[in-house]
């Protein structure tokens, strides 16, 4: 799993930061990409990466402010032109479906794939054999959601030496044992998967929060997460300025990560008032509360390896 930031600014684009968008790259897990928010020019940002729009399987919209959705119609159309023919599911607040359908209708944009739009409420909004996605409404000036993506535990590793010792033949029986299924050999012996595999391997948890004031639902979504992506539109000392706009300071983002027991925090949605050289000062402020923090920048990429969060040079 990798996270790649396509836009890390707040409100409107600047020379340093585009508007909000983040790609969760699940290429190893399901050969797909999940996109979170789609601000203006997101597809332009994608051109500077290895991301393929046809690989985007799901799009999660936090809220309907323009800096989080104005890139969506163009990306939906381009996905058709670029050979995307598999189903695309879009999740977001009430009103998203009407806005997308009306925009595509008026612009006469034809899609060559099935598009499903799910207007969400709090709770589990997606679950399959591998993942659970939970949404909770945060505290912004319009309805806005945060998302918790949890990978379910992975099967343990097969102890090949042990299976060889007890005479399990090579072939499909080994795969069944690795997948957690007990098997019966030709001689009638029952071989239990738990006896020839290591314990299940814990999956990752990522919390991707929309625009929000400091709130307890952010903490709930971020509980014990490997990575928390939290907005930090303002710096220390500007709490009273942040609150009326439904935003957080870097100190509040750090407090959420600390109180949630998260492993790492990536601060996002940075105001254009903070030039690149100011990012270090924001990071220093955040570290005073939560040490494992990064300030996101456009195209920055992060991954989890052996439970540790690493930044990859993009």
Measured torsion, CA atoms of residues 232, 275, 70, 236, in degrees rounded to the nearest 10: 20
Question: In terms of DSSP bridges, do strands 131-137 and 190-191 run parallel, antiparallel, or are they unpaired?
Answer: unpaired
The vertex-32 CA angle with 27 and 37, nearest 5°, equals 115
In the block, tokens 């690989």 appear at 55
Cα 247 from Cα 211, distance rounded (Å): 6
**140 assigned ligand-binding residue:** yes
- pLDDT for residue 144: 98
**230 assigned ligand-binding residue:** no
Tokens of 292: 């494992």
Cα 229 from Cα 282, distance rounded (Å): 15
Per-residue pLDDT of the chain (314 residues; tens, 9 = 90+): 999 999 999 999 999 999 999 999 999 999 999 999 999 999 999 999 999 999 999 999 999 999 999 999 999 999 999 888 999 999 999 999 999 999 999 999 999 999 999 999 999 999 999 999 999 999 999 999 999 999 999 888 999 999 999 999 988 999 899 888 999 998 999 999 999 999 988 999 999 999 999 999 999 999 999 999 999 999 998 878 888 999 999 999 999 999 999 999 999 999 988 877 788 899 999 999 999 999 999 999 999 887 788 887 65
Cα 300 from Cα 15, distance rounded (Å): 16
**216 assigned ligand-binding residue:** no
Residue numbers annotated as active site: 67
Tokens of 305: 């390896």
Task: Classify domain 2-154+202-312 at the CATH topology level.
Answer: Metallo-beta-lactamase; Chain A (3.60.15)
Helix (H) or strand (E) holding 105, with range, is helix 96-106
Residue 261's closest CA among 208, 312, 222? Answer: 222
- pLDDT for residue 304: 86
Give the CA distances from residue 10 to residues 121, 174, 210, 271, in Å, rounded to whole numbers and listed in that order.
25, 51, 11, 5
| Domain boundaries of the chain, sorted by first residue | 2-154+202-312, 160-195
Cα 228 from Cα 294, distance rounded (Å): 10
- pLDDT for residue 273: 83
């Amino acid at each position: 799993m990798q996270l790649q930031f396509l836009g890390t600014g707040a409100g409107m684009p600047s020379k340093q930061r585009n508007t909000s968008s983040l790609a969760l790259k699940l290429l190893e897990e399901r050969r797909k990409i999940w996109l979170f928010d789609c601000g203006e020019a997101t597809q332009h940002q994608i051109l500077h990466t290895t991301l393929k729009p046809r690989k985007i399987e799901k799009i999660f919209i936090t809220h309907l402010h323009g800096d989080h959705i104005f890139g969506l119609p163009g990306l939906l159309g381009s996905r058709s032109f670029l050979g995307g023919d598999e189903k695309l599911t879009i999740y977001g607040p009430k009103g998203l479906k009407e806005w997308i359908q009306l925009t595509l209708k008026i612009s006469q944009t034809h899609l060559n794939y099935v598009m499903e739009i799910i207007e969400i409420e709090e709770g589990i909004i997606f679950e399959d054999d591998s993942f659970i996605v939970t949404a909770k409404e945060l505290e912004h000036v319009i309805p806005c959601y945060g998302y918790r993506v949890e990978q379910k535990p992975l099967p343990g590793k097969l102890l090949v030496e042990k299976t060889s010792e007890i005479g399990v033949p090579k072939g499909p029986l080994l795969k069944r044992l690795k997948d957690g299924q007990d098997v019966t050999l030709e001689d009638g012996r029952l071989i239990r998967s738990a006896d020839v595999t290591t314990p299940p391997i814990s999956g990752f948890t990522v919390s991707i929060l929309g625009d929000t004031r400091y709130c307890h639902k952010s903490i709930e979504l971020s509980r014990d997460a490997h990575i928390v992506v939290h907005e930090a539109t303002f710096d220390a000392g500007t709490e009273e300025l942040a609150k009326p706009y439904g935003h957080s300071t870097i100190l509040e983002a750090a407090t959420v990560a600390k109180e949630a027991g998260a492993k790492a925090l990536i601060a996002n949605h940075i105001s254009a008032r903070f030039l690149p050289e100011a990012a270090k000062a924001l990071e220093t402020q955040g570290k005073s509360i939560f040490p494992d923090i990064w300030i996101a920048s456009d195209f920055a990429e992060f991954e989890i390896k052996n439970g540790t969060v690493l930044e990859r040079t993009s």
